[in-house]
Amino acid sequence: MRRDVELLILGGGCAGLSLAMRLAQLGHRAPATLILEQRPRYLNDRTWCFWGGEATPFAQLAQHQWPVVKVRNADQTVRIDCASTPYRMLAAEQFQAVAQAALMDAPQLHLQMDTPVLSEPQFHGGRWHLDTAVGQLTAAMVVDTRPLQMPALGGALLWQSFYGYEIDCSQTVFEPGCADLMDFLPANPERVAFTYVLPISKTRALVEFTVFAVAPLAADDLAAELNAAIAQRVNGAHFTVLRTEHGVLPMGLDRSASGWAEFKPAYVRVGVSAGAARPATGYAFQRIQRWAAGCAQAIAGGGWPIGHVKDPALLWQMDRLFLNLIRRQPELAPQLFMTLFVRADSQKVIRFLSDCGSLLDYTSIILALPVKPFLQQLFSAASSGQSLPAGS
């Protein structure tokens, strides 16, 4: 059976559902849209975090929020007041439920679960054609949110790998008003490692072990250190694992990889593997929301779907310089982060990390960081005849 639609969205994850919700708001102006998701059902297997006020997209749906976050390295701890733009955690199940409800009220859009794509889209006759588990489809436009490539050594400057458990403890353990943004392990010349703790109550929290390294890591590679971090945190209290999370995020994608520069009419690639995640942090959720709003607006105006907007040149250069330095000397990272949060104004840092910074904020960040290691990185690249690698 063949089916024709105006817009085909490949992948019903964060990016695909975000765009679908924006299109649903167009009402009768929304194009006939089919979202294909290969998973048979959604699981509560991930969370998205961001800083934001009440007007920030999805802020009201956050499972929990923290007015204070802290960063710790050895015996030094800094607490960051973010009460005006709390650090918020959105559970996948809540996001997915809201998206599915929005689609139920939008007859122009349909979400098809358990539907893998069997062939790569081919363009002929002015339309895109592909085979799926439910038959052949054609579309005038395609938004492809599937991974462009699987995480692998060399695909990015660094990979952010994490593995976590949401746990429920038998006794009071956590401080629900403060999230641990980074609790660093001792400096290491091979990687940057820290524990990330999001307390939901005094007995319940999501605890993740995170590594920045040149190679991506599987959950099994991180399990032992995650268990050790939890044991240290709960201090002997019995706990139950409610669910697990594992992810690998690119930090500075290699855009010279196959597929990046290839032009395809009315076809765009989006999502984490196509530049959605901020290179230096891995934060992607609000960047995806901004893209979804812009893409829906472009389609509503009669245009083609658009991809992710490039970062401002200064922000891009700052991220690349930082990532190259951390790749070259990961043992410097814990103290660099501590110095940033200690010296710079907290609101400027939050705006910088949230992609909402001004030139004044960028200047403040630059002045807060130690000059010597960054100059050494620049001189090292210059003396070797290399420019900063191309990337997102």
Shared-domain flag, residues 338 and 378: yes
Domain region containing 231: 156-253
Q: Say whether both 13 and 129 belong to one domain.
A: yes
Asked if 143 and 164 sit in the same domain, the reply is no
CATH number of 283's domain: 3.50.50.60
Residue 391 lies in a domain: no
Q: Is residue 78 part of a domain?
A: no
Q: Is residue 188 part of a domain?
A: yes
Same domain, 124 and 143: yes
Residue 77 domain-assigned? no
Residue 392: predicted pLDDT = 43
pLDDT at 387: 46
The total number of structural domains in the chain stands at 3
Same domain, 55 and 118: yes
**69 found inside a domain:** no
Residues near 383 by beta carbon (within 8 Å), at least 6 away in sequence = none
* 335 shares its domain with 208: no
Instruction: Tell whether 70 is covered by a domain.
Output: no
Q: What is the mean pLDDT of each successive set of 10 residues along the chain, which is 392 residues long?
A: 89 98 96 97 97 96 98 96 97 98 96 96 95 94 90 90 98 98 97 99 99 97 98 96 97 67 82 92 96 98 94 91 95 96 94 92 92 77 50 43
Point out the domain boundary residue: 270, 300, 330: 300
The answer to whether residue 366 sits within a structural domain is yes
Q: What is the pLDDT of residue 101?
A: 97
Question: Does 111 lie in the same domain as 176?
Answer: no
Domain co-membership, 221 together with 276: no
Q: What is the pLDDT of residue 262?
A: 62
pLDDT value for 266? 94
* pTM as predicted: 0.93
Same domain, 30 and 175: no
Note whether 336 and 363 are same-domain residues.
yes
